[in-house]
Chain A
Amino acid sequence: MGRHDLVVLAGLLALSILPPFLTDYLERVITSALLLASLALAQNILLGYTGYPAFGSVAFFGVGGYVTAVLMKDLSLPFPLALLCGTLFSGLLALLIAPPVMRLKSHYFAITTLALQLALGELVANLEVTGGAQGINLPIYRGPGGYLIFYYLFWTLTLVAFLINAYVERSTFGYALKAIREDEVAAETLGVNTLLFKTASFTLMALITGCSGGIYAYWITYIDPTSMFDPVLSVKMFVALLMGGVGTVGGPVAGAFVLEVVSETLWGQFPRVHGLILGLLIVLIVLIIPKGIWRRR
């Protein structure tokens, strides 16, 4: 971890003692930022270290969220258990589809995962058990701490994802991933079991993303297929990642906070042109960010 990453870590730790000083509104903004940071960090394992852009990683966000929601609603499972199931189910799904999907490269890989995301959204919209296109209202959290609990849940998830990234950065596991990123064929010849490592990194991404989706569903209370499988969320996550720096540990968190604060402020001030500015921002970021950031700084 570099100096920048340590600053981000310090900031992250500081967030744990911040809530008493926050208004409801700010608490909500930071919770959203932490959510986005957890997604960006998850993607970073795959894109940053392994070099595969899973454009549709939000598929696992939706799966995690919906599994959690359905289990709580229909089987009255307690939240921790439902969340665990949602997370594991996302991981399992990733494990199953990784081998065929990860044979594809670059934009083919990206589009394939995006197709999966949209397809799962359509599937959920057509099934009875998921409440169809109408969506589901989850039970309302009435336990101790009120909605602050979600702030801490996302904070914990982000911290865990951060530490995983830090571990990947300097472990043998991480070196194997980076070898795949730099030259997959060479890695293979050197005896790296690329399929195994690619699958592992894909599944790790899906676990974190799925967990994030589960927490989100309970936090936001009302979910529907378009909000849980939203391509705009995928793009926001990538923009956060690009802004912060792909393949760095702290970058995704910093990017997520900057983007979320900008985006929330815009939304609060100019709800009508918010989408317009978001689109413009994405275009500008791709144009402005030098190619260098693509690879590790």
Chain B
Amino acid sequence: MVRLLIALMVLAGLSLAEEVLRLGAAVSFTGKYAKEGELLRRGYELWKEKVNSMGGIKVGNKRYRVEIVYYDDQSDPKTTAKLVEKLIVEDGIKFILGPYGSAQVFAAAGIVEKHGALMVQGGGASSKIYKQGYRHIFGVFNTAPDYGRNLIDLAVTLKPEPRTVAIIYEKDIFSEDAARGALERAKEKGLKVVLFEGYPKGAQDLSSLMIKIRAKKPDVVIGAGHFRDSVLVVKQLKQFKINPKFVGLTVGPPVPAFVKALGEDAEYVFGPVQWSKAFSYKDPLFGDTRGYVEAYRKKYGEDPEYHSAGGTAAAMALQIAIERAGTLDVEKVRQELLNMKVETFYGVIGFDETGKIVTKPMAVVQIQNGKPVTVYPFREAEPVYPKPAWK
């Protein structure tokens, strides 16, 4: 019965929206960022289905059914640039949904700007993206230094108070930015930074860094990188028998694959998140945050985390701006994005003149019993600290 209803709704939606609005996205389906890219795509797809089930995007008096053209950028920024150029020039698409990863977003941004298209993205957090003077790039992620700041802010509230911190990062515009956030906040809070060092993107062996950390015995280890880096850092910390009281890693921990890859070793690792399902906001499409979480669970069989949510939020922001503009004119839609201040399941979405979101907080989760639970700034559960030694 329910299925029938859904089918009817979809059919109704189809008949209402005869015209098609094509959006384009170059996302990493393979390569280093394959996991994150897949989560981002899920966020876009969930939004697309929801919008189409409700009759499509309303532009003036017309309704458009949404289609998304995807290409795989293989986690390589220059391929992203080439594909986005293909989307705009060859496929004639004006509205681009962002790729995953700051480097990819950065590369795509130049191309979008060059061709006067418009991109809303929920995949790149580096502040460098917003320092280019671009007018056509909008992002729903708080900038990367917030990742590092939130981890340190949490760490200094814990007892016994940590005194030393080692920060390692992948050399990439996002990770380095996040690491610098942690570095500055650690200094402000009076922590001693015993190591601050980067390693090249794609490195698969961090032995020399581990030898250094092992010699310094820090209370806190912060690792800034992407999903693959999070897994690698945990494995190598364990391999080198390094047991800090606090391990905080960007990107990896909230991703379900993190626990799958590491099993028990994932326990008690902290990770900053752009959004968590413990947030609570009203939403024009899904009702509220819980409605979003349920819709996601129903479609994918697991809980959403922030990479998917960011994708949905970015696409929603674009949709709302198009509907408010009542036209597909890039400049008018851009103006609506600048004027926007709307509450969604993801938080309040509003942008400053550089295009970055300025209206929402971040949070920190910790893996407990195989699940990420929010422990900061509000508490779903008490944080476990100091972290027990590796098994």
Binding site for B on A (CB under 8 A): 24-25, 28, 125, 132-135, 137-138, 140-141, 147, 220-222, 224, 226-227, 268, 271-272
Minimum Cβ distance to chain B for residue A202 (Å): 28
Docked CA distance A235–B59 (Å)? 49
Chain A contacts for B78, CB-based, 8 A: 135, 222, 224, 226-227
B113 contacts partner chain A, Cβ-Cβ < 8 Å: yes
Minimum Cβ distance to chain B for residue A75 (Å): 17
Task: Given A135-B103, A222-B110, answer yes or no on A24-B89 (Cβ-Cβ < 8 Å).
Answer: yes
Which 4 A-B pairs have CB atoms at the shortest separation, nearest pair first? A221-B110, A227-B78, A137-B110, A222-B107
B172 touches A137 (CB 8 A): no
B89 touches A134 (CB 8 A): no
Chain B contacts for A135, CB-based, 8 A: 77-78, 103, 106-107
A133 touches B114 (CB 8 A): no
B132 contacts partner chain A, Cβ-Cβ < 8 Å: yes
B172 touches A133 (CB 8 A): yes
Minimum Cβ distance to chain A for residue B230 (Å): 19
Most chain B CB neighbours (cut-off 10 Å) among A25, A137, A147, A271 = A137
Docked CA distance A238–B93 (Å)? 35
A140 touches B172 (CB 8 A): no
Minimum Cβ distance to chain B for residue A70 (Å): 15
Task: Given A133-B171, A221-B81, answer yes or no on A25-B110 (Cβ-Cβ < 8 Å).
Answer: no
Docked CA distance A125–B200 (Å)? 9
Q: How many residues of B contact A (CB 8 A)?
A: 25
B86 contacts partner chain A, Cβ-Cβ < 8 Å: yes
Minimum Cβ distance to chain B for residue A153 (Å): 16
Residue of B nearest to A230 (CB): B78
A221 touches B77 (CB 8 A): no
Task: Given A134-B106, A135-B106, A137-B110, answer yes or no on A222-B71 (Cβ-Cβ < 8 Å).
Answer: no
Contact of A271 among B71, B106, B109, B128 (CB under 8 A): B71
Minimum Cβ distance to chain B for residue A31 (Å): 12
Name the interface residues of B71-112: CB closer than 8 Å to any CB of A. Answer: 71-72, 76-78, 81, 85-86, 89-90, 103, 106-107, 109-111
Docked CA distance A138–B81 (Å)? 13
A138 touches B90 (CB 8 A): no
Residue of B nearest to A24 (CB): B89
B86 touches A140 (CB 8 A): no
Q: Mark B103-130, 1 if CB is under 8 A from A, else 0.
A: 1001101110110000000000000100
Give 9 new A-B contacts, CB below 8 A, not counting A28-B89, A134-B173, A135-B106: A24-B89, A25-B89, A133-B171, A137-B107, A137-B109, A137-B110, A221-B114, A268-B86, A268-B90
A133 touches B200 (CB 8 A): yes
B106 touches A25 (CB 8 A): no
B111 touches A221 (CB 8 A): yes
A222 touches B89 (CB 8 A): no
Chain A contacts for B81, CB-based, 8 A: 220-222
Docked CA distance A222–B114 (Å)? 11
B216 contacts partner chain A, Cβ-Cβ < 8 Å: no
A133 touches B107 (CB 8 A): no
Contact of B111 among A24, A134, A222, A224 (CB under 8 A): A222
B201 contacts partner chain A, Cβ-Cβ < 8 Å: yes
A133 touches B132 (CB 8 A): no
Minimum Cβ distance to chain A for residue B233 (Å): 19
| 9 interchain pairs, CB-CB under 8 A | A135-B78, A137-B110, A140-B110, A221-B81, A222-B81, A224-B77, A227-B78, A268-B86, A272-B72
Name the interface residues of B57-72: CB closer than 8 Å to any CB of A. Answer: 71-72
Minimum Cβ distance to chain A for residue B226 (Å): 13
Residue of B nearest to A125 (CB): B200
A140 touches B114 (CB 8 A): yes
Chain A contacts for B109, CB-based, 8 A: 137
Docked CA distance A229–B166 (Å)? 34
Docked CA distance A226–B107 (Å)? 13
Residue of A nearest to B89 (CB): A24
Chain B contacts for A271, CB-based, 8 A: 71
Q: Mark B180-211, 1 if CB is under 8 A from A, else 0.
A: 00000000000000000000110000000000
Docked CA distance A272–B107 (Å)? 21
A25 touches B90 (CB 8 A): yes
Docked CA distance A132–B76 (Å)? 15
Minimum Cβ distance to chain A for residue B358 (Å): 22
Chain A contacts for B77, CB-based, 8 A: 134-135, 222, 224
Chain B contacts for A25, CB-based, 8 A: 89-90
B110 touches A134 (CB 8 A): no
Chain A contacts for B90, CB-based, 8 A: 25, 268
Chain B contacts for A141, CB-based, 8 A: 114
Task: Given A221-B110, A271-B71, answer yes or no on A134-B132 (Cβ-Cβ < 8 Å).
Answer: no
B171 touches A132 (CB 8 A): yes
Minimum Cβ distance to chain B for residue A63 (Å): 18
Minimum Cβ distance to chain A for residue B259 (Å): 30
Most chain B CB neighbours (cut-off 10 Å) among A25, A28, A134 = A134
Minimum Cβ distance to chain A for residue B261 (Å): 25
Minimum Cβ distance to chain A for residue B169 (Å): 12
Docked CA distance A140–B109 (Å)? 11
Minimum Cβ distance to chain A for residue B174 (Å): 9
B107 touches A140 (CB 8 A): no
Docked CA distance A250–B299 (Å)? 59
